[in-house]
């Protein structure tokens, strides 16, 4: 692979309680362990950042696939839910649910587009075989 773009971000502080910033300043956030995991909350966390990135990337892949296939729909939204919990090896693991909402399209056609986007999306390709990803397609 020859990268056409490379994102650069640096995390500082106490690990999950600290700060993260991209080299261009587009992201500059305080980080905090969520209260549900025993932390103080009040800041972003890696799971939120992953969810935001995955949702945006998948939405782009969906639009690309639809354009290439000549498929149309009215409204669209992708919501990524990223869960974290202990794994069997004493570490932690992730799970993802992608909820894709499409308007003005039949359910079967929407599901085909979502599955095709799942094959194209770089986040889906990176997680495949490593992180369980559930796809939910909702049409209106």
Asked if 33 and 50 sit in the same domain, the reply is no
Q: What is the pLDDT of residues 60-91, one digit of tens each?
A: 999 999 999 999 999 999 999 999 999 999 99
Asked if 125 and 70 sit in the same domain, the reply is yes
Instruction: Read off the pLDDT band of 11 (50, 70, 90).
Output: very high
Residue 101: CB atoms within 10 Å: 16
Asked if 40 and 71 sit in the same domain, the reply is no
Q: What is the pLDDT of residues 49-60, one digit of tens each?
A: 999 999 999 999
Asked if 95 and 135 sit in the same domain, the reply is yes
Residue 14: CB atoms within 10 Å: 10
Asked if 119 and 70 sit in the same domain, the reply is yes
Asked if 74 and 114 sit in the same domain, the reply is yes
CATH of the domain at 76: 3.30.300.20
Domain ranges, residue 130: 46-139
Number of structural domains in the chain: 2
């Amino acid at each position: 692979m020859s990268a056409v773009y490379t994102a650069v971000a640096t995390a500082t502080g106490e690990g999950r309680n600290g700060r993260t910033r991209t080299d261009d300043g587009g992201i500059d956030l305080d980080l905090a362990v969520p209260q549900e995991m025993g932390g103080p909350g009040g800041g972003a966390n890696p799971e939120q950042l992953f969810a935001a990135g995955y949702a945006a990337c998948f939405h782009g892949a969906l639009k690309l696939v639809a354009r290439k296939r000549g498929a149309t729909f009215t409204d669209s939204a992708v919501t990524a839910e990223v869960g974290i919990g202990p794994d069997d090896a004493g570490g932690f693991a992730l799970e993802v649910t992608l909820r894709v909402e499409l308007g003005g399209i039949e359910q079967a056609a929407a599901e085909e587009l979502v599955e095709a986007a799942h094959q194209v999306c770089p986040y889906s390709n990176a997680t495949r075989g490593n992180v369980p990803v559930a796809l939910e397609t909702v049409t209106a």
